[in-house]
């Protein structure tokens, strides 16, 4: 039985993850939230799961590195500097960061990469996501993950091809771009559709999350897989063998 600590333990995901830890037969070592100190938690833990906010990530990574324990990061809204911090920590401890821990989205990203690699630039790619009214970041981490998969399939960088939201006189759509649109409202757990749009035909790949248990189960599965691994940065496809 492994002792797992949760960063963001009182949040919607933190509570779902606590349930998934118990259901998986692991031990819930404790948790912290905004005013907590990760260094008080790490001595009780074999691993951390962080589903909180990017603001606390640096301190959390420092605490995990100091304790020499692995960490699963599901927090979204990450910027380039957060990825740099994660890469740095991964030199010392095993780290898995993903915008979506579900099996369905992990497979979807694979399918999107494949479709993008086979369809030319005359197939425009647009990613639409819908989330509950409490979500604070946009586009969602999952939308960005799917955008990365599409960009990889095309052999381009997402940073240079992303169009994040449109307003006003935008001009014609530029070929090769990958568009993002975000809807917010109600209690939607997380819906994502990647549209491939050509002249006279369209493809749409969708994933609809019916509740948070899929993310929580995936996070615990990733935690179990990560324990005992060498330091490094790992991915959900590796966990799920996809």
Ligand X SMILES: O=C(O)C1=N[C@H](C(=O)O)C[C@H](O)C1
Ligand Y SMILES: NC(=O)C1=CN([C@@H]2O[C@H](COP(=O)(O)OP(=O)(O)OC[C@H]3O[C@@H](n4cnc5c(N)ncnc54)[C@H](OP(=O)(O)O)[C@@H]3O)[C@@H](O)[C@H]2O)C=CC1
Residues annotated in a binding site for NADP(+): 34
Q: Closest CB to ligand X among 93 and 145?
A: 145
Q: Is there a catalytic annotation at residue 221? A: no
Which of 55, 82, 83, 135 is an active site residue? 135
Range in contact with ligand X (rule: CB under 6 A) among 34-42, 108-116, 136-144, 220-228: 136-144
Tell me the C-alpha distance between 180 and 161, whole Å: 11
100 binds ligand X, rule: CB under 6 A: yes
Which residues share a beta bridge with 215?
A: none
Geometric angle at alpha carbon 188, from 133 and 166, rounded to 5°: 65
34 binds ligand Y, rule: CB under 6 A: yes
Q: Which two tokens stand for residue 206?
A: 């969708």
215 binds ligand Y, rule: CB under 6 A: yes
Tell me the C-alpha distance between 37 and 41, whole Å: 7
Q: Closest CB to ligand Y among 8 and 179?
A: 8
Tell me the C-alpha distance between 75 and 128, whole Å: 20
| CA separation, residue 97 to residues 31, 94, 167 (Å) | 19, 10, 32
51 binds ligand Y, rule: CB under 6 A: yes
190 binds ligand X, rule: CB under 6 A: yes
Q: Is there a catalytic annotation at residue 135? A: yes
Q: Closest CB to ligand X among 187 and 200?
A: 187
Binding residue positions for NAD(+) = 8-13, 33, 74-76, 98-101
Geometric angle at alpha carbon 25, from 24 and 28, rounded to 5°: 95
The residues carrying an active-site annotation are: 131, 135
């Amino acid at each position: 039985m492994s002792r797992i600590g949760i960063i963001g333990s009182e949040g919607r995901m933190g509570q779902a993850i606590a349930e998934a830890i118990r259901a998986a037969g692991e031990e819930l070592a404790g948790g912290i939230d905004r005013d907590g100190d990760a260094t008080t938690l790490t001595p009780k833990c074999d691993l951390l799961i962080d589903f909180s906010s990017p603001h606390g990530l640096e301190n959390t990574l420092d605490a995990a590195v100091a304790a020499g324990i692995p960490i699963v990061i599901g927090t979204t809204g990450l910027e380039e500097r957060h990825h740099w911090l994660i890469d740095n920590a991964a030199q010392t401890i095993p780290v898995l960061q993903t915008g979506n821990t579900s099996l369905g989205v992990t497979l979807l990203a694979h399918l999107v990469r494949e479709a993008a690699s086979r369809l030319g630039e005359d197939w425009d790619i647009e990613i639409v996501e819908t989330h509950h009214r409490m979500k604070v970041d946009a586009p969602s981490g999952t939308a960005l993950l799917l955008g990365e998969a599409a960009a990889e399939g095309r052999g381009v960088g997402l940073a240079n091809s992303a169009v994040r939201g449109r307003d006003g006189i935008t001009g014609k759509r530029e070929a090769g771009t990958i568009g993002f649109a975000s809807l917010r409202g109600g209690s939607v757990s997380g819906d994502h559709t990647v549209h491939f749009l050509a002249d006279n035909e369209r493809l749409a790949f969708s994933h609809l999350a019916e509740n948070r248990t899929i993310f929580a189960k995936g996070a615990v599965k990733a935690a179990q897989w990560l324990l005992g691994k060498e330091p490094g940065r790992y991915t959900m496809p590796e966990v799920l063998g996809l």
